Amino acid sequence: MKSLIYLDHAATTPACPAAIAAVAEALALVGNPSSVHAGGRAANALLERSRDAVARFAGVAPENVIFTSGGTEAIALAMNGARMVGARPRALAGATEHSAVLQGRADVALLPVDADGLIDMAALDAALGAETLRGPALVAIQHGNNETGVIQPLGEVAARVHAAGGLLLADCVQSAGKLLLPDADFIALSAHKLGGPPGVGALIVREPDTLVAIQRGGGQERGHRGGTPNLPGIAGLAAAVAEPHDWAAVATRRAALEARLKAAGAIIHGEAAPRLPHISSIGLPGTAASTQVMRLDLAGFMVSAGAACSSGKVKASHVLAAMGLGPAAGEAIRVSLSGSTTDTELDSFAAAWKRMAGERMAGERMAGERVAGRT
């Protein structure tokens, strides 16, 4: 039976043993955290211990942590629940943001990026400068891009946003646990990118008074998010954020892989910018991303063509298109690693990718020879 090698950890990474154990232990509890009897008190104690763990990870007080169903809900809560002087601020976002941001509100104004995928600071300043006419802004920027791994200079972004009287929402779904969390008004986290279970995340809120609930129906999460909390998932998230990882070793493996593929004709998108240690956007000119994903899948390698949020559809990357890549935006795959990815697995992948690239070039030569023969 053909072995399968998983290289799509940016989509979801396997739950770590500590998270699995924490989920199982929480499932064994009987009691709603909102109940006042002994079972409810035990469940609430676990909820608050988990909140304390996530707060320590984020470097904030426990009251700054709001549990959600994942990164998408955390982003939606911030984008739609943020309030400044009692009103919802206008929304600005980078053109390479995740669809959770781009579709989070119908009125999001996009900020361009340069060829490396970095936010155009002059455009940001111009958009923020419209405050006197249109009011303050909530600016949503990824810490690290989910397709290219490009790291945005959020320290500089935050300074500009705050100087203009705005709020910063940092999508840290990919960067959390790999980089120090930035100085932002809102930070979105997702457990299943960190080795926790799917279906749970958190929004870190610097000033809880700047947020109103968009999901009502109960007073849970200090009134910011109605609904019975997913206690097993929350316990799994708390366990996952406490696990150590050697991301420097992952970055070394990623760099070695990219060097081998570039020597065989690959294009690494965003490589001139600082990047997260585990993500590579690899272009193969002349071959559609969907073809690459399917051929590699048949060879036993699980990769993607970008965010795993389009119901299994493979389309040209809006991230790469925003970086000005034109048709090449539809010719790239994403390979993403974890601490458990081995050199042997990457050796096998490099060999498979080179075979795929070699077959494409052989096909082009044959087509050229046929054309030459007819002329």
Active-site pick, 45, 115, 263, 309: 309
CB 353 within 8 A of CB 291: no
What are phi and psi for residue 214, nearest 5 degrees? -110, -15
Q: What is the DSSP string of 80-119?
A: HHB-BTTBPPEEEEETT--HHHHTT-TTPEEEPB-TTS-B
User: Is the Cβ–Cβ distance between 136 and 292 less than 8 Å?
Assistant: no
Spatial strand order of the sheet with 279-283 comes to: 267-268, 279-283, 332-336
The reply to whether 16 belongs to the active site is no
Q: What is the largest CA-CA distance in the chain?
A: 88
Question: Cα(159)–Cα(139) distance, rounded to whole angstroms?
Answer: 12
Buried b (16+ CB within 10 A) or exposed e, 110-121: bbebeeebbbee
**Measured at the alpha carbon of residue 309, what is the angle toward residues 238 and 269, in degrees to the nearest 5?**
95
Structural tokens at position 179 = 């980089």
Q: How is residue 237 annotated by DSSP?
A: H
Q: What is the CA radius of gyration of the chain?
A: 22
Encoding tokens for residue 228? 């019975």
Place of tokens 């940001």: 124
CA distance 9 to 11: 5
- Yes or no: say if 314 and 305 are a contact pair by the CB < 8 Å rule: yes
Neighbours of 53 (CB within 10 A): 21
Residues labelled as active-site residues: 309
